Amino acid sequence: GQNIDQPTEMTATEGAIVQINCTYQTSGFNGLFWYQQHAGEAPTFLSYNVLDGLEEKGRFSSFLSRSKGYSYLLLKELQMKDSASYLCAASDSNYQLIWGAGTKLIIKP
């Protein structure tokens, strides 16, 4: 079956770095997405990886290892506004997104 695993909740301190992990099992693979979702709002796109390696975009970076079925989202210089849920989604052979349950990130001052 197809499955995405990510931690339910994480806590970090303002100004610090946090890494949110995601493992996936899909029928075929056409890339890994990370989305940010604030409470009561729709998800917004953060990153997409289809090749192994690290993609950096400002304070956010995303890593992919296809052989391990593993990705992480790295957030640096955390700000209070980064408190949100972070959704990992893998694109399968039909380009359908398989969604993880989301990781709620709590930022403390």
Residue-by-residue DSSP string for the chain:
--EEE--SEEEEETTS-EEEEEEEE-SS---EEEEEE-TTS--EEEEEE-SSEEEEETTEEEEEETTTTEEEEEE-S--GGG-EEEEEEEE-TTSPEEEP--EEEEEE-
Q: Rule CB under 8 A: choose which of 18, 26, 33, 64 binds other proteins.
A: 33
Stretch touching other proteins by CB under 8 A, among 17-25, 36-44, 56-64, 71-79: 36-44
Q: Which of residues 54-73 bind other proteins (CB under 8 A)?
A: none
Q: Are 17 and 74 in contact (CB under 8 A)?
A: yes
- Which range in 14-22, 43-51, 53-61, 67-75 contacts other proteins by CB under 8 A? 43-51
Shortest distance, CB of residue 77 to other proteins, whole angstroms? Answer: 26
Is 41 a binder of other proteins (CB under 8 A)? yes
For residue 3, the minimal CB distance to other proteins (Å) is 13
Compute the least distance from the CB of residue 40 to other proteins, in Å.
8
